[in-house]
Every structure is written in C-alpha cells, then in structure tokens.
C-alpha cells in the first residue's frame, strides 16, 4: 500500500514538473562560429541592438556604490552576450585572476556534481539519500531523497535561520562554530521538523550533506573528491583556478566554500545557460538544467529550484532575486551579493561579485536589472532558437 | 543605611552572577563563532584569494572589530582571538582553509 502510494506520488510529481517545464524559456545554443570559452573567453564589443549607453550607465551605477571604508561594493562585473564577453570591469585591487568567495554559490557547484553522478547512473534523485546515520530501521530520515535535499524541502531541522543551540544561528554554528570541523555530521545529526515536501527552508547544512554524499560516492577522501571535481567539472569547462575548501574531517564544504575568478564563475554559469552541454559534450544529464530551474514543490516556495534561484514573485519572507529582470532569469547566488545569472531569453550571462557593506538589496540589484535591460530579447531580433 | 547598602550590593552581585550563569555560555559561544569567522575568512582571503592582510581585514564586518587576528608562525594559517579564547584556521594547498578543533 505504501509502495503504491509512493509510486502514485512520484507519477503526480513528474506530471506537475512536466507541466511546469513547459513554462520554461528555451535555453539558447552556443553560436556556431564562436569558439567555446574553454581556453579563453572571446572578447568583443556589444552587438548592434545592445543599448551601449544604458550598459555603460549600469556599470557606472554599480561601481558608484562604495562601502564605509571607501572600497567598491562591486568588485567584478561581467556581461557575456551570445557567448562573447562584452563588458568586464574590476574594482581597484581586483583583477581577472583574483579568486572570489562563492558563499552560497558553492551550493550550485555541489548540485552540478550530483548531476554528473546522475548521468553516470551512480546516484538517483528519487532514491533514498545514502546517509549512513539515517539508515537505522525506523528512522524516518532514511526515506529522504536527494530530490528533497536539492529542493531544500526535506523538513530537516537544520535551516540556516533556526536556533544553533548556543548564541548563534544554526548556519553560523555549522560553518564557524561547533559544527565547523565536521560539517556534514553536524548538519545531518538533526531531526525532522516537517514532513518532506511540505515546507521549504533554506539550509546550508543540507547542501553540506549533499556534498558529503557526492564525496562518499567518488571514494570518500578529500583527494578523491578534488580529483573528481577537476576531472569531471572544472577541466572540461576550462576552469583552472576554482578551489573547493574542505573541513577538518576532510569533507568538501559544498554549502558555501568555493573560490574562483570571475571568468571561471562565468564558465560555470555558461554551462547551465547551454543546457549542460559544453563544446558538443554533455556534462550534465539531459533535463538537469530544467530540473534546476523548476520550483521546489513546497507550499511556501516560489523562487527556489534544485539549488538554483528563480526570478519569480517570492513567497512570504523569501528573497526576491532580480525583480524587474526577465522571468526566465535563473541565478546562482551567495551572501554579500554574489550573483551569476543566466537570462535565456536574452542569451545573456552576468556575473556580479563583491560585498554589500552598508548596501541594501534593492540598491544592489538595481544596476544588475539595468544592465540586463540594455540587452535585447532574442525574439525581438527574430532569431530566437 | 549601611545595612541597605549591603543588601543592595548583595542583590546586585546575585543578579550579576545569575546573568553570568545565564548569558555567559551564550556570550562565549558567540565569541567563539565570531573568532571562527575571522580566522577562517582571513585565512582563505590570504591564502586562497592571495590578497594582502590589511585588505582581508577590511572585509571582516565591523561587529567583529574586537576580535584580533594574525598570521600563524611556521605554517600557513590565521589565529583569531578575543577575551581569552582563540580559533585557528590552517591552509592546505588545493583544499583551502579549515578551522581546527
């Protein structure tokens, strides 16, 4: 009875997601005559049709924002239109080789690693997540799937904003406090606070658990994980300076600790803009990017997919991503204003890295929305894919 | 008058002791989290982002101004300390920085 109910649930879930996927904007292919940015990004002037004055004004507005110590809040701002790097600027003290902290953008890197293992047939998102401490008979957490974890609808009591048990919140205890030396253990050693798929809650701990699942699958050690990340994700994309950090237990801190130059972050985003294909080779399984940008099935969620952020009307206290930008936009985001955003309807990718000392979210987002608005939608030029 | 002062002082001491018992562990916990933040972020900024010490320090929120930090001697890493507690973060090439127990 329970099995047939589960099967029925999966069928209904698949049907709902198929309906949602029909609303997704098509992902534009890489231009035929253009070199892939594996060795280097092709640089060029914006095409005719791009509002150059508006683009320049958006850059000026973005870099005018300074923090209390006088340094620029925006440290790197890149725009890639139709595969060409058409605008790139760094604040003083930063350059194309500088590594920038991902904060939560690391979560999406972790998600890509899951996708690669799914394409290998080594992980399934609808199968129980292989977390050893949940496998005791009768433990309800044993039924949690990678799908629940990637959507942050597991119901685990490890939300970022939940009580950390000391003076700090859960996420602070996880990454800098009591949980810092073995983050996957700390994040997974919690009870269920909600039934799965009934409540969405943003959780760095959950991403850390996902990272540990990947690491265990590829051999368990930090060395094995680094080798896997390099061989299957970084090197195929030409990502040369991305560094993942590992905790004292040797586990990839996939919830918030990856460092990379802006151009490498752009390569990561470009993989998703191109539907998981890189230079003719499928890196992520077919349908993975659509899965990433389809809202998680929870009644209190509208803007979170599978470890990616969606540009829709937020639910309740959820953070709006880029209000005013095209609805097709989906993003990788991190604390203090890290953004890698893909805009399929405009064949556009933007990267914004930096700080937000003394800056509100509306002020931070406004120049990014202006920047996107400088580019025409594909349909307006009559050559939408 | 003297008796009132003694009673008042005693009550104040008792309240202070109660406050320390209730809030002390929370305060120390938050201080440890803060020192962990400073040690980890300074370490990664120095050794992964390869930026200068002062530039890294300026990225630490002002609320943590009372947490001091300095590079470790003899190995790549950062020590952050305040009010009698310290946290250490060390760097391993290719694996970034990690906080030590």
Answer whether residue A185 shows pLDDT above 70: yes
A115 vs chain B: nearest CA distance in angstroms? 22
Of residues A168, A181, A244, nearest to B29 (C-beta)? A168
Q: What is the pLDDT of residues B37-62, one digit of tens each?
A: 999 999 999 999 999 999 999 999 98
Would you call B96 an interface residue with chain A, using a CB distance cutoff of 8 Å? yes
pLDDT for res A379: 67
Report, as ranges of residue numbers, the positions in chain B whose pLDDT lies below 70. Answer: 1, 4-6, 12-13, 15-23
Give Cα separations from A1 to A4, A127, A128, A293 (angstroms): 5, 18, 18, 33
Give the pLDDT band (50/70/90) at residue A104. very high
The string over B85-100, giving b where at least 16 C-beta atoms fall within 10 Å of a residue's C-beta and e elsewhere, is eebbbbbeeebbbbbe
Give the pLDDT band (50/70/90) at residue A4. very low
pLDDT for res A5: 39
What is the greatest pairwise CA distance in chain B? 70
Q: What is the pLDDT of residues A292-317, one digit of tens each?
A: 999 999 999 999 999 999 999 999 88
Q: Which residue of A has its CA nearest to B43?
A: A245
% of chain A residues with pLDDT over 90: 84
Of residues A167, A259, A357, nearest to B44 (C-beta)? A259
CB atoms within 10 A of CB A23: 9
pLDDT for res A8: 38
Partner-chain contact B27 A168, CB within 8 Å: no
The C-alpha atoms of residue A307 and residue A111 are separated, in whole angstroms, by 6
Q: What is the pLDDT of residues A228-267, one digit of tens each?
A: 999 999 999 999 999 999 999 999 999 999 999 999 999 9
Of residues B95, B99, B100, nearest to A226 (C-beta)? B95
Partner-chain contact B99 A248, CB within 8 Å: yes
Give Cα separations from A268 to A59, A279, A314 (angstroms): 22, 13, 25
pLDDT for res A115: 98
Answer whether residue A277 shows pLDDT above 90: yes
The C-alpha atoms of residue A362 and residue A319 are separated, in whole angstroms, by 11
Q: What is the pLDDT of residues A343-370, one digit of tens each?
A: 999 999 999 999 887 778 888 899 999 9
The C-alpha atoms of residue A195 and residue A298 are separated, in whole angstroms, by 11
Q: What is the mean pLDDT of residues A86-95?
A: 96
Mean model confidence pLDDT for chain A: 92
Partner-chain contact A259 B98, CB within 8 Å: no
pLDDT for res A382: 43
Q: What is the mean pLDDT of residues A167-182?
A: 95
DSSP state of A354: E
Answer whether residue A26 shows pLDDT above 90: yes
Partner-chain contact A176 B62, CB within 8 Å: no
Angle, alpha carbons B68-A170-A114 (nearest 5°)? 105
Residue A226 has, within 13 A of its CA and on its CB side, a CA count of 18
DSSP string, A6-69: HHHHHHHHHHHHHHHHTTSPPPPPPPTTSPPTTS---B-PPPTTS-HHHHHHHHHHHHH-B-TT
B11 vs chain A: nearest CA distance in angstroms? 26
Partner-chain contact A355 B59, CB within 8 Å: yes
Q: Where are the beta strands (DSSP E) in A91-204?
A: 100-101
Residues in B closer than 8 angstroms to A93, CB to CB, are 51, 55
For residues A225, A229, A230, A231, the Cα torsion angle rounded to the nearest 10 degrees is 100
pLDDT for res A320: 86
Q: What is the pLDDT of residues A107-150, one digit of tens each?
A: 999 999 999 999 999 999 999 999 999 999 999 999 999 999 99
Answer whether residue A55 shows pLDDT above 60: yes
Residues 71-90 of B with CB under 8 A from A: none
Answer whether residue A380 shows pLDDT above 60: no
Answer whether residue A199 shows pLDDT above 90: yes
Cβ-based interface (< 8 Å): residues of A facing B: 68-69, 71, 93, 98-101, 166-168, 172-173, 175-178, 180-181, 222, 226, 243-248, 253, 257, 259, 355, 357
Answer whether residue A15 shows pLDDT above 60: no
pLDDT for res A9: 38
């Amino acid at each position: 009875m329970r099995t047939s109910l589960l099967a029925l649930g999966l069928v209904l879930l698949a049907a709902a997601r198929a309906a949602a996927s029909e609303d997704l904007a098509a992902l534009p292919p890489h231009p035929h005559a253009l070199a892939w940015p594996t060795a280097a990004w092709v640089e060029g002037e914006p095409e005719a049709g791009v509002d150059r004055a508006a683009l320049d004004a958006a850059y000026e507005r973005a870099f005018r924002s300074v923090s209390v110590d006088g340094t620029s809040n925006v440290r790197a701002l890149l725009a890639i239109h139709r595969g060409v790097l058409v605008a790139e600027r760094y604040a003083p003290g930063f350059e194309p080789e500088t590594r920038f902290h991902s904060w939560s953008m690391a979560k999406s890197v972790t998600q890509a690693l899951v996708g690669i293992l799914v394409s290998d047939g080594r992980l399934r998102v609808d199968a129980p997540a292989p977390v050893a401490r949940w496998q005791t008979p009768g433990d309800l957490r044993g039924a949690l799937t990678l799908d629940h974890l990637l959507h942050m609808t597991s119901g685990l009591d490890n939300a970022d904003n939940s009580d950390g048990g000391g003076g700090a919140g859960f996420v602070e205890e996880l990454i800098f406090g009591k949980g810092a030396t073995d983050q996957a253990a700390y994040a997974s050693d919690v009870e269920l606070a909600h039934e799965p798929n009934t409540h969405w809650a943003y959780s760095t701990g959950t991403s850390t658990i996902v990272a540990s699942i990947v690491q265990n699958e590829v051999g368990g050690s930090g060395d094995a994980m680094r080798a896997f990340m390099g061989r299957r994700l970084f090197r195929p994309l030409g990502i040369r300076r991305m560094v993942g950090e590992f905790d004292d237990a040797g586990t990839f801190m996939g919830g918030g600790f990856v460092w990379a130059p802006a151009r490498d972050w752009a390569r990561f985003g470009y993989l998703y803009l191109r539907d998981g294909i890189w230079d003719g080779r499928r890196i992520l399984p077919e349908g993975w990017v659509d899965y990433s940008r389809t809202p998680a099935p929870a009644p209190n969620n509208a803007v979170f997919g599978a470890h990616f952020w969606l540009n829709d009307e937020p639910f309740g206290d959820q953070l709006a991503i880029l209000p005013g930008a095209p609805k097709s936009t989906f993003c990788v985001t991190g604390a203090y204003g890290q953004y890698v955003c893909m805009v399929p309807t405009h064949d556009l990718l933007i990267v914004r890295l930096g700080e937000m000392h003394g800056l509100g979210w509306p002020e931070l987002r406004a120049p990014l929305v202006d920047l996107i608005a400088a580019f025409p939608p594909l349909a307006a030029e009559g050559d939408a894919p | 008058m003297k008796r009132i002062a003694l009673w008042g002082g005693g009550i104040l001491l008792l309240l202070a002791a109660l406050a320390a018992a209730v809030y002390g562990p929370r305060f120390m916990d938050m201080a440890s989290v803060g020192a962990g933040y400073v040690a980890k972020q300074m370490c990664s900024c120095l050794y992964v982002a390869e930026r200068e010490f002062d530039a890294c320090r300026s990225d630490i929120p002002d609320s943590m101004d009372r947490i001091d930090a300095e590079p470790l001697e003899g190995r790549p890493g950062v020590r952050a300390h305040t009010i009698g507690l310290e946290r250490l973060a060390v760097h391993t090439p290719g694996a970034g920085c990690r906080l030590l127990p």
